[in-house]
Amino acid sequence: MNLVLLGPPGVGKGTQANHLAKEFDFKLISTGDILRNQVQKNTTLGLKAKKFVKIGKLVPDNIILDIIVTHTKNNHPYIFDGFPRTVKQAMGLEHTTKKRGLSLDAVIYLYCNENVIIERLSKRRVCPLCGKIYNLITNPPKNGNKCDLCNESLKQREDDREEIIKNRLKIYQRQTMPLLEFYEQKRILHKIDGSKPEKQVYETIRDVILKERSD
Ligand code: AMP
């Protein structure tokens, strides 16, 4: 089965996607992580994407769809985090999966109040080595500002500054929200309250997956 996690930045898609990928053996495709990695390595793709990622604007659809085609060559079950973000990307995903005789089985929409999101994103810290995500209030590292797993100093993402967060939320409203109707019409949308505690959100998503699998 293939799954999409949809929702505003900071709602917890990345954290949930990582847990789900481990438990259910999904291959995780996070377009944000792929882009940040390319930007860091100064690749051709990274240089093209940098100016968009830095200010929280969406990277053009054709670049994103090329990434998806390259990263979904095998018939593995996939979980997509942060993709699709526009109707054009959703149509591209549909095209790619159909061509391979696959389908998108469920779209998990995590929703959350904007004030909670701004608070969460401004307190988010990430390990630059292993990618583990922390929240200084709800899920702080055990040892100062160091990653629990690799002891690397945690970083704040450049686009997690308040003025950029607001921009990302505006773009989300305008360009990504229309996807709700797109997937609602296909009857694969599951709405889950992302403001609940992480474990509770995880259990709810898990139930959806187990149910989809048994149908
Ligand atoms: P994320 O880590 O998912 O919040 O993504 C960080 C940034 O990467 C976004 O603000 C965009 O600039 C870019 N990005 C990630 N995924 C996409 C996508 N599917 N479409 C366009 N831009 C994206």
Residue with tokens 């291959």: 27
- Give 92-109 pLDDT, tens digit per residue: 999 999 888 888 999 999
Residue 81 belongs to a domain: yes
| Cα(53) to centroid(ligand 1), Å | 7
Q: Domain for residue 133, yes or no?
A: no
Whether residue 30 contacts residue 17, with contact meaning beta carbons closer than 8 Å, is answered with: yes
Quick: pLDDT tens for 144-155. Answer: 999 999 999 999
Q: Ligand 1: which residue has its CA nearest to atom 12?
A: 53
Contacts of 62 (CB under 8 A, 6+ apart): none
157 given a catalytic annotation: yes
pLDDT higher than threshold 80 for residue 177: yes
Ligand 1 probe mutation, 28, 35, 64, 120, most atoms within 8 A of CB: 35
Model confidence at 214, pLDDT cuts 50, 70, 90, reads confident
Active-site annotation holds for 36? no
Quick one: angle between helices 162-171 and 114-122, nearest 10?
A: 140
Domain presence at residue 156? no
DSSP, residue by residue, 76-143: --EEEES---SHHHHHHHHHHHHHTT----EEEEEE--HHHHHHHHHTEEE-TTT--EEETTTB--SB
Q: Supply φ then ψ for residue 142, to 5 degrees.
A: -75, -30
Confidence at 215, pLDDT banded by 50, 70, 90: confident
Q: Is residue 152 part of a domain?
A: no
Q: What is the DSSP letter of 173?
A: I
pLDDT at 74 over 80: no
What pTM value is reported for the model? 0.92
- Residue 70 in any domain: the answer is yes
pLDDT by residue (tens digit) across 22-40?
999 899 999 999 999 999 9
Q: What is the pLDDT of residue 73?
A: 83
194, part of any domain: yes
CATH number of 26's domain:
3.40.50.300
Write out the residue range of the structural domain in which residue 23 sits. 3-112+175-214
66 domain-assigned = yes
Q: What is the total count of domains within the chain? A: 1
Q: What is the dihedral of CA 55, 61, 67, 72, to 10 degrees?
A: 130
Q: Is residue 34 part of a domain?
A: yes
Q: How far apart are CA 212 and CA 115, in angstroms?
A: 32
Instruction: Provide the terminal-to-terminal Cα distance of the chain, rounded to the nearest Å.
Output: 11
